[in-house]
Structure 1
Amino acid sequence: MPVNVEQIPGLNTLGISLARIDFGSYGLNPPHTHPRATEILVVLEGTLYVGFVTSNLNPGNRLFTKVLHAGDVFVFPQGLIHFQFNPEKTNAIAFAGLSSQNPGVITIANAVFGSTPPISVDVLTKAFQVDKNVVEYLQKQFWWDNNN
C-alpha cells in the first residue's frame, strides 16, 4: 500500500514516501522503476530475492542481486529497473522508503506490452527479436503487480 502525496497531501514538499509491500508465497513485485526517487527497502518478515540493473553506460546493464532476510536493507538507485521476489512458501513483508513525495512508478511489462494505444507489433518484434505471435500474446495479457 503506497503512502505518497496523493494519499497524504501534508507530504507535499517533504521529499518522502513510504510503501508497505506484502508478498504471498512466490509473490513478485515485477521489474519497475521510480523515475523521481531512490528506494530503500527493509525486510520485516520472510525472505526476498531483490535486484536492480544498472543503466546502459559502460559496462552497462549489470545486474546486482541479494537475498534478504528479516532486518536486512537494500537500496535501489533512482530510475533503475528493479524487482523484489519472495522465493519461499511463507509470506514476506517489507517497507520501502522513497526519496520523493511523488516517486512515480513505471512497471516495465505494463509500459511496453500494455500501453494504450499499443506499441506497434513491428516495433516490439524487432526490439525484442521475437516472433510476432509472442508479442501479440504478451499484449493480450493482463499486467499487474502480483505480490501475492
Structure 2
Amino acid sequence: MVDVGDKPVTARRAKASGRLTCTRETLELVRAGKAPKGSVIATAELAGVLAAKRTAELIPLCHPLALSKIEVTVTPDDELPGFAVDAMVRTEGRTGVEMEALTAVSAACLTLFDMLKAVDKTMSIDALRVTAKEGGRSGAWRGE
C-alpha cells in the first residue's frame, strides 16, 4: 500500500458513472414495478452505497477510508434503453475516493443485472468511468 501518512488531510470528492443497457420491455417492467425480484432501483442504489463503504476489502492495496457522504443514483434512460448509474463520494482524508465511486457504480450495475437476468439475457454493463474528482495535490478534474 502506498504511504500517504505525510500527505495533508483535504476535502476529497469523486464522481463516477456507468450504465446498464437492456431491452425496452425490461425497462418498462422495472418502471411498472413488476420485476420478479422486487424494487430494482432502490436495491441497486443501496448496493452501491454498501459497496463504496467496503471498497478497501474488495480492492487490494486500497486504503480504508471514513466516508462522509455516498450518493448513488440509478435513472431509467429511454435512449439506451437501460439505466444510467451515477455515484458521488466524499471524505476528508489523505487519499482520493475515485475507487469508492467506481465501486459504488459497479455494484449498482451488477445488482441491476442480477435482479433482471431472469427476464433479459441481452443486458450489458459498460461506460464505467470517473467523471470528476476534487481535492489533493492534483486539485479538481472533470471528464469530458
Give me the TM-score of the superposition, normalised by structure 1. Answer: 0.30
Query: Which structure carries more helix by proportion?
Result: 2
Relative contact order: is structure 1 or structure 2 higher (C-alpha 8 Å, sep ≥ 6)?
Answer: 2
